[in-house]
């Protein structure tokens, strides 16, 4: 196992994907995750980006016992994965260079939590299987 992960997250989504190589290109080369460990013979990879962790597993049609419905794109309907990154511009440049369009353009948003507002610069993009990622850069907090 890699020394990259100091702390294992208590909640780690595992996404079924159609093509692990295409997914790894997107998640690692474009978004910036690294492979903490993998089992290539099983089409599996555990990814980490500064403590944001996710598992990818290529769908095995012979063993689909965990599928709760049809495996039709876009996958992950109704969910988005918020991932905090140090800067979003380099990620946007890599996505654009690889031909990926943004699902929601860059915006500054402030979300109220009690007497404070927490700010973030964010955008949304879909991975090759249709999972929605919301990449954010923290803008700090202010009084609501």
- Using one digit for the tens of pLDDT, what is the confidence trace for 73-91? 899 899 999 999 999 999 9
Buried b (16+ CB within 10 A) or exposed e, 68-83: eeeeeeebbeeeebeb
Q: Is residue 39 helix, strand or coil?
A: strand
* pTM greater than 0.95 (yes/no): no
pLDDT average, residue stretch 10-26: 96
Surface-to-core class of residue 119, CB atoms within 10 Å of its CB (0-12 exposed, 13-18 middle, 19+ buried): middle
Q: What does 42-89 look like in DSSP terms, one character per residue? A: GTEEEEEETTEEEEEEE--TT--TT--S---SSTTTT-EEEEE-S-SH
Grade residue 62 by pLDDT with cuts at 50, 70 and 90.
confident
CATH class of 14-60+79-143: alpha beta
Average pLDDT value for the chain: 93
Provide the token pair at 123.
């955008």
Site of tokens 């007497």 = 115
């Amino acid at each position: 196992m890699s020394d990259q992960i100091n702390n294992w997250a208590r909640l780690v989504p595992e996404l079924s994907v159609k093509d692990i190589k295409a997914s790894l290109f997107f998640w690692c080369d474009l978004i910036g995750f690294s492979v903490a460990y993998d089992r290539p013979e099983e089409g599996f990879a555990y990814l980490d980006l500064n403590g944001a962790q996710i598992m990818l597993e290529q769908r095995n049609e012979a063993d689909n016992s965990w599928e709760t419905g049809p495996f039709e794109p876009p996958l992950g309907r109704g969910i988005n994965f918020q991932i905090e990154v140090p800067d979003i511009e380099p990620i946007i440049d890599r996505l654009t260079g690889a031909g990926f369009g943004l699902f929601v353009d860059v915006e500054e948003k402030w979300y109220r939590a009690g007497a404070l507002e927490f700010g973030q610069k964010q955008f949304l993009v879909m991975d090759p299987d249709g999972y929605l990622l919301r990449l954010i850069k923290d803008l700090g907090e202010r009084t609501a």
